[in-house]
């Protein structure tokens, strides 16, 4: 029932004792990072000031902007030669975020993921297929090493090529599959085209779904389509990747491994603690990381802590499913995108004006999610050849920046609705959120 019984069944007082010990160690260790040394000096605190868990509040928040401004290695708390891997976010126009790992960090990350997979019933005898992008996407290597640690036969299929995914599922007898929820809609469509009924023709039993917000109804639809149980998986690259919080067989909230991190929920406006049980922004402090510990990291994800005990016997807190974000980040096909990335690319083209519109939509014919970028020209342009080559070049640059392929449409000046502010520049018409 437990992958690491000792850690998974800690009582609340034991969790808190361990957290304080690890927090104090982490804070001292952070003084090896130029960034945190300066931060502590600025607010006039010392590691010795952290005497209780409540003292955590004395430490300033860490933000994505901090990670960007210290790009690439300014947050490191160990010499670079101790690091064995980094993961970086998309983006070439602004500074991406970089997360560094030592071998110990990677081992602990693999264990966190193995715990999650074991918790939902996956065992050595299972065949686990992962449809995440590999490389910089942490869902790839994160699930890979976790599944291997558990001892399953792994199928590192990576993203894309649904027909091949289906062939693998059938031929290798895949029983456990990790995919983002919207992609499972697309995959099911391709199965139907291929005459494959997942309930009849596959051994799928356990689906791991995450990386984007989804509803309870969407989970139930997925479970019905595939005839398998689907478990919500939450993670983010700054916290290593997957393995941060995960549903247990009760499917009622995601246990967050509190021997790995300390959880706070704050009001994103006032930055004060949210009222007990209320939705707010998730703030996480890592307490077992070597290369790049993060203190009070503002995730920008909105959720709440579920009240009460979980019948599964784990006392690690449970997070409600994510309710959205407190910033303007979009998640499309499991890829994080900030509208400013689109804007920065468009503004490089002198042929383009400043008015643009991003529409997220689902292609009715194939259930694929897409991004349509419409942008006004700065001056009238009617030469078809020139319009086509310009569209191609904008598409190429956007794909390099965003890691997904948008559809680009050039519009004559004055033809798009005039908008002010970023919110109205993005329209989300995706059906996959409710399929």
CA dihedral angle for residue 316, residue 320, residue 324, residue 327, rounded to 10 degrees? -30
Q: Given candidates 236, 248, 332, 398, which one binds ligand AMP under the rule CB under 6 A?
A: 236
Binding site for Zn ion (CB under 5 A): 248, 250, 310, 312, 314
In angstroms, the CA 191 to CA 197 distance is 7
Determine, following the binding rule CB under 6 A, whether residue 263 of this chain makes contact with ligand AMP: no
Q: Given candidates 132, 144, 233, 362, which one binds ligand AMP under the rule CB under 6 A?
A: 233
Strand partners, 177: 129, 207
Q: Which of 124, 218, 227, 225 is nearest to 180 (CA)?
A: 218
Count of chain residues binding ligand COA (CB under 6 A): 22
Buried b (16+ CB within 10 A) or exposed e, 112-126: bbbbbbbbbbbeeeb
Binding mask 374-413 for ligand COA (x = CB under 6 A): -----------------------------xxx--------
Determine, following the binding rule CB under 6 A, whether residue 210 of this chain makes contact with ligand AMP: yes
Determine, following the binding rule CB under 6 A, whether residue 180 of this chain makes contact with ligand COA: yes
Site for ligand AMP in 267-306 (CB under 6 A): 299, 301
The alpha helices in 292-428, defined as continuous H runs, are: 339-346, 384-402
Determine, following the binding rule CB under 6 A, whether residue 160 of this chain makes contact with ligand COA: yes
Q: Which of 393, 397, 391 is nearest to 411 (CA)?
A: 391
Q: Are 240 and 112 in contact (CB under 8 A)?
A: yes
Strand partners, 62: 297
Determine, following the binding rule CB under 6 A, whether residue 222 of this chain makes contact with ligand AMP: no
Strand order in the sheet with 261-266: 261-266, 280-286, 297-303, 324-325
Q: Given candidates 159, 284, 305, 375, which one binds ligand COA under the rule CB under 6 A?
A: 159
Site for ligand COA in 283-342 (CB under 6 A): 333-335
CB of 324 to ligand AMP, least distance (A): 9
CB of 335 to ligand COA, least distance (A): 5
Site for ligand AMP in 323-362 (CB under 6 A): 325, 331, 336
Q: Given candidates 3, 36, 226, 234, which one binds ligand AMP under the rule CB under 6 A?
A: 234
Q: Are 111 and 148 in contact (CB under 8 A)?
A: no
- Residue closer to Zn ion, measured from CB, 150 or 248: 248
Determine, following the binding rule CB under 6 A, whether residue 211 of this chain makes contact with ligand AMP: yes
Q: Given candidates 70, 138, 175, 286, which one binds ligand COA under the rule CB under 6 A?
A: 138
CB of 329 to ligand AMP, least distance (A): 7
Omega cis (within 30) before 72: yes
Residue 117, H or E segment: helix 103-119
Site for ligand AMP in 136-155 (CB under 6 A): 138
Site for ligand COA in 183-202 (CB under 6 A): 183, 186, 190
Buried b (16+ CB within 10 A) or exposed e, 4-38: eeebbebeeeebeebbbebbbebbebbeebebbee
- Residue closer to Zn ion, measured from CB, 248 or 263: 248
CB of 116 to ligand COA, least distance (A): 13
The alpha helices in 243-329, defined as continuous H runs, are: none
Determine, following the binding rule CB under 6 A, whether residue 62 of this chain makes contact with ligand AMP: no
Residue 116, H or E segment: helix 103-119
Interface contacts to ligand COA, rule CB under 6 A: 131-133, 137-139, 159-162, 180, 183, 186, 190, 211, 333-335, 368, 403-405
Interface contacts to ligand AMP, rule CB under 6 A: 138, 210-213, 232-237, 241, 299, 301, 322, 325, 331, 336
């Amino acid at each position: 029932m437990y992958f690491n019984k000792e850690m998974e069944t800690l009582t609340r007082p034991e969790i808190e004792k361990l957290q304080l010990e690890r927090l104090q160690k982490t804070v001292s260790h952070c003084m090896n990072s130029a960034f945190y040394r300066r931060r502590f000096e600025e607010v006039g605190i010392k590691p010795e000031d952290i005497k209780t868990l409540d003292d955590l509040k004395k430490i300033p928040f860490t933000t994505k902007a901090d990670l960007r401004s210290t790009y690439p290695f300014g947050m490191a708390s160990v010499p670079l030669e101790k690091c064995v891997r980094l993961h970086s976010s998309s983006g070439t126009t602004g500074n991406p975020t970089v997360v560094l790992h030592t071998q110990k960090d990677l081992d602990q990350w693999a264990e966190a993921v193995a715990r999650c997979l074991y918790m939902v019933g996956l065992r050595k005898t299972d065949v686990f297929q992962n449809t995440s992008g590999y490389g910089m996407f942490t869902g790839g290597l994160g699930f890979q090493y976790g599944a291997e640690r558990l001892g399953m036969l792994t199928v590192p299929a990576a993203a894309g090529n649904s027909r091949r995914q289906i062939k693998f599922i059938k031929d290798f007898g895949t029983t456990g599959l990790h995919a983002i929820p919207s992609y499972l809609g697309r995959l099911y469509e391709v199965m139907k085209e291929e005459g494959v009924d997942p309930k009849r023709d596959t051994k799928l039993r356990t689906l791991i779904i995450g990386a984007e917000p989804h509803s309870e109804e969407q989970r139930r639809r997925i479970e019905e389509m595939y005839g398998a149980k689907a478990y919500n998986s939450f993670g983010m690259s700054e916290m290593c990747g997957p393995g941060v919080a995960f549903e247990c067989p009760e499917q009622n909230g995601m246990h967050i491994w509190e021997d790995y991190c300390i959880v706070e929920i704050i009001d994103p406006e006032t930055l004060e603690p949210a009222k007990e049980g209320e939705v707010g922004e998730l703030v996480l402090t890592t307490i077992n990381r070597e290369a790049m510990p993060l203190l009070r990291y503002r995730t920008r994800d909105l959720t709440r802590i579920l009240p009460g005990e979980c019948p599964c016997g784990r006392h690690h807190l449970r997070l409600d499913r994510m309710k959205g974000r407190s910033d303007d980040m979009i998640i499309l096909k499991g890829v994080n995108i900030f509208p400013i990335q689109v804007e920065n690319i468009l503004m490089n083209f002198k042929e383009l004006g400043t008015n643009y519109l991003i529409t997220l939509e689902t292609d009715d014919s194939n259930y694929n999610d897409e991004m349509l970028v419409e942008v006004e020209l700065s001056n009238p342009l009617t030469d078809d050849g020139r319009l086509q080559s310009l569209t191609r070049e904008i598409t190429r640059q956007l794909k390099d920046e965003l890691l997904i392929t948008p559809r680009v449409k050039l519009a004559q000046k004055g033809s798009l609705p005039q908008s002010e502010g970023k919110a109205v520049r993005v329209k989300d018409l995706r059906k996959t959120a409710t399929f």
